[in-house]
Amino acid sequence: DIVLTQSPALAVSLGQRATISCRASQSVIISRYNLIHWYQQKPGQQPKLLIYRASNLASGIPARFSGSGSGTDFTLTINPVQADDIATYYCQQSRESPWTFGGGTKLELK
């Protein structure tokens, strides 16, 4: 199984940049597509897709969210962080079954 590793928490100040990382245990590339996706989940809510295939903004997601990376190392950047962005963020791979999620990074205010 592909294991995705995320730091458990990240503390940021409002208006600053947040960088959340996700490392895969093996490459998640198929046909030059990086099959990593990012989600935001707030307490009591379902996850919301933010970024698909590493760097593509999902529909309706603000441009302050961006994704980058290739192969095994990926980053979700939020710039600038707003109060509404306080949530837990998950990466997920769809390179191969079983589709796995990272453990989540809880974004907290400094």
Partner 1 sequence: EVQLVESGEGLVQPGSSMKLSCVASGFTFSNYGMNWIRQAPKKGLEWIALIYYDSSSKYYADSVKGRFTISRDNSKNTLYLEMNSLRSEDTAMYYCATYNWEGWGQGVMVTVSS
Nearest Cα neighbor of 81 from 11, 10, 14, 20 is 14
Residues between 37 and 96 that touch partner 1 (CB under 8 A): 37, 39, 41, 46-49, 52, 58-59, 90, 92, 94
CA distance 11 to 49: 22
For partner 1, what does the binding mask look like between residues 5 and 44, x meaning CB under 8 A?
--------------------------------x-x-x---
Tell me, what DSSP letter sits at residue 17?
Answer: -
Cβ-based nearer residue to partner 1, 17 or 99: 99
Q: Percent helix, strand, coil in the chain (nearest 5)?
A: 5, 50, 45
The number of residues that bind partner 1 (CB under 8 A) is 21
47 upstream amide cis, omega within 30 of 0: no
Cβ-based nearer residue to partner 1, 12 or 39: 39
Contact residues: partner 1, CB under 8 A = 37, 39, 41, 46-49, 52, 58-59, 90, 92, 94, 97-104
